[in-house]
């Protein structure tokens, strides 16, 4: 299962952090620090997997953002990478050419989308269209409530 | 007027310094707090959203926790949405506040709007505590047969969290899980696979046996995925829903393990996946990788296994590092089952050890360790040693000890064994564990034919500048025992001659003794070595005595005591050679048990401390002037070899703990037979040191006390 999802910018700023297993505040800070250090220092052509204590770190860079995921040792690394890509594609579809700034100003929406992709650290939906559909429908519910 | 979320983000981003940012946040937090206090309903959800942003920046936001609960209890969707988000981000299962939300969750789970039920399921699945899981399990179970696929898939994954928190509930979900894998919706199916996987992991064989009947269903699902044409919703890189394929294959692996019938049922589809899926995209490789794991994990027929190994071979030669990484990872699992197949890729794997990517190197190394056997130990060790020289510091300790362990296990002959270990210690002696030095010493002491050769090699290494710690330990021990052999003729073939004379050896020891050292252990060993050489090199005896005397005033109590005692030996010229005789061959089998013995005693050794005493134990009987024949009971061999090497830096065992026979032995030797076991004289506050010769008898303390005085005056 996925233990955490972190979006970290090239400058080392956290843009999204979601934890699926229990980490104390201290552990969270420490993990973020370690992940940032490990990922930002990696060269471009190296593989996307890193041994990371008990867990394995799967990361991928998209433009200025690093998507980092901590998974169990026995998880399928390639499939996890595909899950990350799945998430990115859905963000892209939702925001239309997503960029870091979109995620900064709409961080809550990024969380909403993530909550439709993963639940409890497991993949929840494999169809991008379905996710896009339910997120926009919930947005419409919000808009309706505001206007009505 | 409350600031909008967007404006807050903008003003935080425009801050130029951290102090400025803190000020903006502090001001905003104060406003939000006031709004909370005034129970401002209109902007509550905006305030919580702002708090979430502040939370992400790392500032404390606990004062917003109750507001999240209020939002969740509200009736409209926008409030609930942000409330649940806040709940999941700012709270976790340890907070007691969480219990207050159980009732709202229960209401929302039963809400007719699928999105509200979805929010509740999501929160429950992400942060449920054991109590909440227990309370809400029946609702979640019901939702697994909800008419909306959206709710069913969330309920399935939520159930996993419930099972994790309350494992005894697992069995109640069997039926629902079996029902779910007949669902048509892919999201529900992915959830169902994961749920069954987790049920099997939680409840073990009984659950696996239960779900084995579902193998045909899974095979059918797999088949429809592999054979179906293009489906726009689930297509990734030309494959239909690789995520679901991966999950299904994984579940098949768990169910087929150790069961021939189930394995047989899935063999066709596994072969189909292995041959038809293309590995030119990441998604395809993910499926292939999972498929290979399943083929190797279940009771597959030989042909299928060959297919799987070939895929791994292809992976291994792939230029993409990710693919090579998983290939190495997988081969490491296969190697236990089918070593032969993996050996074929040995050269590629060894190349990976030198890869520029640390993740690949680590995986490759693990694999190389697994590949070593008696027939390839020499070549692989050579590779590993080459790598040891260039590897990162973080790798060295592990690598060094693994090489030592492999050499210990597979060495083809003793000379190679000794040579290799010396080489390892020469390159990375600082990382070699003490057990390894000890094992090498045992080996040398049991190979009399190689002792001259070994001591020559060690001598030439020691004469280089700054030999490594482990090497010093072994080298010094061997010089002390076999130093005289340096002067013998008879080089082995392809061996370079060493120019050593009595004087040069003594000079070497003198230099080594003068080197600044962090631990006194080596110094103590050097002194023992020096004194032993006094009987090997009678001509150099005066120099040796002079060297020893230099250390009688050493600031280290241990060193000082050894120097004093060893100097005393020169007074008893008659017994000195006998005392300093060679050690008998050390018992190889007992090294391990001896170690266990020590650890059982919490690291203290209450037995004769020294090789010399043990080795010469029969002597006192012969020379005891008083006719008192002390029990000539040799110290137990377990302790002999261990302590002899003096490798372990034991905490000084109190001399009083020494068993009576040992005390008698020494009393006869040095105390001229006067050995009334008197209580220890007040040795001041000095901790009773471990004697290098043996635990000193009480009588001996009078002999040592001058040394103590020297010591204390040195301190003054």
Give me the half-sphere count of Cα atoms (radius 13 Å) on the Cβ side of residue B312. 33
Q: Does the structure show a pLDDT above 50 at A11?
A: yes
CB contact under 8 A, A76 and B290: yes
* DSSP letter, residue B571: T
Q: Which of the listed CATH numbers 3.30.450.60, 3.40.50.2000, 3.40.50.2300, 3.90.1150.10 matches domain A2-147?
A: 3.30.450.60
Q: List own/partner pairs for B511-519 with CB under 8 A and 24 or more apart.
A: B512/B462, B512/B472, B512/B476, B513/B547, B513/B551, B515/B466, B519/B649
**pLDDT at residue number A130:** 95
pLDDT the model gives residue B597: 41
- Please answer whether residues B247 and B190 qualify as being in contact, where contact means their C-beta atoms are separated by less than 8 angstroms: yes
Instruction: Name the residue of chain B whose CA is nearest to A29's CA.
Output: B58
User: What b/e readout covers B296-331, taking b as 16+ CB neighbours within 10 angstroms?
Assistant: bbbebeeebbebbbebbbebbeeebbbbbbbbbbbb
Beta strands in chain A (DSSP E): 2-9, 14-19, 49-52, 55-62, 65-71, 118-119, 122-123
Mean pLDDT of A9-30: 92
Quickly tell me which residue has 């210690």 as its tokens. Answer: B425
* Test mutation, B325, B352, B364, B394, chain A, max A CBs within 10 A: B325
Closest CA to B613 of B646, B580, B571, B652: B580
Answer whether B36's CB lies under 8 Å from B64's CB.
yes
Q: Span A94-122, mean pLDDT?
A: 94
Interface membership of B238 toward A (CB under 8 Å): no
Look at B3 and A125; give whichever has higher pLDDT: A125
Provide the mean pLDDT of chain B: 80
Give the distance from residue B327's alpha carbon to the nearest chain A alpha carbon, in angstroms. Answer: 11
Q: CB neighbours (10 Å) of residue B661?
A: 16
Crossing angle for the helix pair B377-390 and B346-353, to the nearest 10 degrees: 20
Kindly tell me the sign of the dihedral angle through the C-alpha atoms of B543, B546, B550, B551: positive
Select the residue of B49, B56, B243 nearest A82 (Cβ to Cβ).
Answer: B243
Pairing of strands A49-52, A14-19: unpaired
Rg over alpha carbons for chain A, rounded to the nearest Å, is: 16
Mutate to test the interface with A, among B13, B191, B200 (most CBs of A within 10 A): B191
Whether the CB-CB separation of A80 and A58 falls below 8 Å is answered with: yes
Q: Over the stretch B185-229, which tens digit does the pLDDT of each residue have? A: 999 999 999 999 999 999 999 999 999 999 999 999 999 999 888
The total of other beta-carbon atoms located within 10 Å of residue A20's CB is: 20
A-facing residues of B in 137-196 (CB < 8 A) are 150, 153-154, 157-158, 160-161, 186-187, 190-191, 194
Find residue A66's DSSP bridge partners.
Answer: A8, A61
* B89: nearest Cα among A18, A145, A120, A73: A18
In chain A, what is the straight-line distance between the N-terminal and C-terminal CA atoms, in Å? 41
Q: What is the DSSP letter of B465?
A: S
The reply to whether residue A105 touches residue B78, judged by beta carbons under 8 angstroms, is no
Per-residue tokens: B302: 């030989």
Angle at A76 between CA B118 and CA B301, to 5 degrees: 120
- Mutate: best of A120, A136, A137, A140, partner B, most B CBs <10 A: A120
CA B38 to each of CA B35, B67, B78, B80, B87: distance values in angstroms, whole numbers, following the listed order:
5, 12, 21, 20, 21
Q: Smallest Cα–Cα separation from B456: which of B481, B480, B424, B491?
A: B491
Pair of tokens at residue B35: 């709004």
User: For chain B, what percent of residues have pLDDT higher than 90?
Assistant: 37
**Cβ atoms B458, B483 nearer than 8 A:** no
**CB < 8 Å to B250, chain A:** 76
Q: What is the largest CA-CA distance in chain A?
A: 53
| Axis-axis angle for helices B346-353, B321-334 (nearest 10) | 120
Residue B369 near chain A (CB below 8 Å) = no
Whether A82 and B150 lie within 8 Å, measured CB to CB: no
At B41-100, the pLDDT tens digits run 888 989 999 999 999 988 988 888 899 999 999 999 999 999 999 999 988 767 778 888
**Interface contact B199, partner A, CB < 8 A:** no
Considering only CB atoms, which chain A residues are within 8 Å of B277? none
Q: Provide the CB-side half-sphere exposure for B59 (13 A, CA).
A: 21
State ipTM. Answer: 0.96
Which tokens sit at B265?
Answer: 């049922």
What is the distance between the alpha carbons of residues B208 and B248, in angstroms, rounded to a whole number? Answer: 14
What residue spans define the domains of chain A? 2-147
Q: For residue B239, list its beta bridge partners.
A: B236
Cα angle B697, B659, B634; round to 5: 100
| B13 interaction partners in chain A (CB closer than 8 Å) | 104
Q: How far is residue B632's CA from residue B613's CA, in Å, rounded to a whole number? A: 11
Q: Quote the pLDDT of residue B681.
A: 41
Residue B589 is predicted with a pLDDT of 63
Nearest to B56 by CA among A7, A102, A71: A7
Helix axes B469-482, B451-463, angle to 10 degrees: 130
Q: Residue B584 has what DSSP assignment?
A: P
How far, in Å, CA of B102 to CA of B100, rounded? 6
Mean pLDDT by 10 residues, chain B (716 residues): 87 93 94 91 90 91 90 92 93 79 93 94 93 94 94 96 94 93 93 96 93 94 90 90 96 94 94 91 95 92 89 90 92 84 86 86 86 86 85 83 87 89 84 84 88 88 81 88 82 75 86 80 88 85 87 87 88 83 76 43 38 37 38 40 40 40 41 41 42 40 36 38
Residue B626 phi, psi (nearest 5): -80, -5
Q: Cα(B81)–Cα(B104) distance, rounded to whole angstroms?
A: 13
Q: How far is B250 from chain A (nearest CA, A)?
A: 9
**Residue B213 contacts A, CB cutoff 8 Å:** no
């Amino acid at each position: 299962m996925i233990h955490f999802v972190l979006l970290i910018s090239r400058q080392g700023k956290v843009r999204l952090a979601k934890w699926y297993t229990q980490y104390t505040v201290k552990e969270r800070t420490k993990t973020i620090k370690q992940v940032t250090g490990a990922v930002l220092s990696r060269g471009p052509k190296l593989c996307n997997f890193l041994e990371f204590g008990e867990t394995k770190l799967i990361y991928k860079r998209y433009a200025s953002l690093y998507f980092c995921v901590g998974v169990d040792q026995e998880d399928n690394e390639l499939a996890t990478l595909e899950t990350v890509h799945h998430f990115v594609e859905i963000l892209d579809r939702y925001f239309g050419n997503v960029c870091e700034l979109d995620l900064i100003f709409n961080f809550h929406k990024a969380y909403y989308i993530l909550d439709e992709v993963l639940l409890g650290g497991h993949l929840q939906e494999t169809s991008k269209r379905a996710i896009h559909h339910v997120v926009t429908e919930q947005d419409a519910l919000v808009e309706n409530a505001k206007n009505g | 007027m409350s600031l909008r979320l967007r404006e807050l983000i903008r003003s935080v981003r425009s801050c130029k310094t951290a102090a400025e940012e803190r000020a903006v946040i502090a001001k905003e937090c104060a406003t939000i707090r006031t709004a909370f206090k005034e129970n401002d309903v209109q902007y509550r959800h905006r305030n919580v959203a702002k708090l979430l942003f502040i939370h992400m920046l790392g500032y404390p936001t606990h004062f917003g926790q109750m507001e999240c609960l209020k939002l969740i209890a509200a009736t409209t969707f926008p409030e609930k949405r942000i409330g649940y988000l806040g709940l999941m981000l700012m709270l976790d299962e340890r907070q007691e506040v969480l219990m207050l939300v159980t009732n709202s969750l229960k209401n929302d789970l039963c809400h007719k709007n699928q999105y509200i039920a979805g929010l509740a399921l999501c929160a429950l699945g992400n942060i449920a505590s054991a109590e909440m899981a227990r309370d809400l399990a029946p609702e979640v179970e019901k939702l697994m047969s909800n008419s909306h696929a959206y709710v069913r898939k969330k309920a399935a994954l939520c159930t996993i969290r419930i099972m994790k928190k309350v494992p005894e509930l697992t069995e109640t979900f069997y039926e629902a899980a079996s029902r779910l894998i007949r669902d048509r919706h892919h999201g529900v199916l992915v959830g169902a696979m994961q749920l069954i996987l987790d049920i099997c992991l939680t409840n073990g064989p009984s659950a696996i046996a239960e779900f084995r009947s579902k193998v045909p269903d899974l095979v059918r699902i797999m088949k429809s995925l592999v054979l179906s044409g293009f489906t726009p919703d689930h297509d990734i890189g030309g494959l239909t829903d690789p995520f679901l394929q991966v999950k299904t294959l994984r579940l098949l692996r768990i169910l087929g393990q150790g069961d021939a019938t189930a394995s047989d049922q899935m063999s066709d589809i596994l072969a189909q996946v292995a041959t038809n899926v293309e590995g030119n995209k990441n998604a395809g490789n993910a499926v292939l990788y999972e498929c290979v794991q399943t083929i190797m994990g279940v009771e597959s027929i030989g042909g299928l296994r060959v297919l799987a190994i070939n895929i791994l071979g292809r992976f291994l030669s792939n230029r993409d590092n990710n693919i090579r990484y998983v290939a190495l990872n997988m081969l490491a699992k296969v190697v236990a089952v089918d070593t032969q197949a993996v050996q074929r890729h040995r050269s590629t794997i060894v190349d990976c050890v030198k890869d520029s990517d640390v993740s690949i190197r680590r995986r490759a190394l693990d694999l190389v360790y697994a590949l070593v056997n008696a027939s390839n130990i020499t070549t692989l060790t050579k590779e590993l040693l080459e790598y040891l020289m260039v590897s990162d510091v973080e790798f060295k300790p592990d690598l060094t000890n693994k090489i030592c362990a492999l050499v210990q296990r597979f060495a083809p002959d003793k000379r190679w064994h000794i040579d290799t270990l010396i080489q390892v210690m020469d390159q990375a002696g600082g990382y070699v564990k003490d057990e390894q030095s000890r094992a090498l010493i045992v080996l040398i002491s049991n190979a009399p034919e190689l002792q001259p050769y070994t001591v020559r090699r060690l001598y030439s290494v020691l004469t280089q500048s700054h030999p490594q710690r482990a090497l010093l330990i072994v080298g010094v021990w061997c010089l002390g025992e076999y130093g005289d052999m340096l002067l013998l003729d008879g080089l082995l073939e392809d061996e370079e001659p060493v120019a050593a004379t009595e004087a040069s050896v003594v000079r070497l020891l003198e230099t080594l003794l003068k080197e600044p050292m962090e631990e006194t252990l080596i110094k103590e060993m050097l002194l023992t070595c020096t004194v032993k050489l006094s009987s090997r090199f009678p001509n150099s005896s005066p120099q040796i005595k002079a060297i020893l005397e230099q250390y009688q005033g050493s600031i280290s109590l241990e060193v000082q005591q050894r120097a004093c005692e060893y100097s005393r030996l020169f007074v008893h010229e008659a017994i000195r050679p006998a005392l300093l005789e060679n050690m008998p061959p050390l018992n190889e089998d007992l090294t391990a048990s001896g170690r266990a013995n020590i650890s059982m005693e919490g690291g203290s050794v209450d037995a004769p401390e020294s090789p010399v005493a043990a080795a010469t134990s029969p002597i006192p009987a012969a020379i005891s002037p008083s006719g008192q024949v002390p029990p000539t009971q040799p110290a137990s061999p377990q302790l002999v070899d261990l302590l002899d090497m003096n490798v372990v830096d034991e905490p000084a065992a109190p001399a009083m703990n020494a068993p009576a026979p040992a005390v008698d032995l020494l009393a006869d030797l040095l105390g001229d037979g006067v050995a009334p076991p008197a209580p220890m004289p007040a040795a001041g506050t000095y901790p009773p040191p471990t004697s290098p010769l043996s635990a000193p008898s009480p009588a001996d303390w009078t002999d040592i006390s001058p040394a103590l005085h020297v010591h204390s005056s040195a301190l003054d």
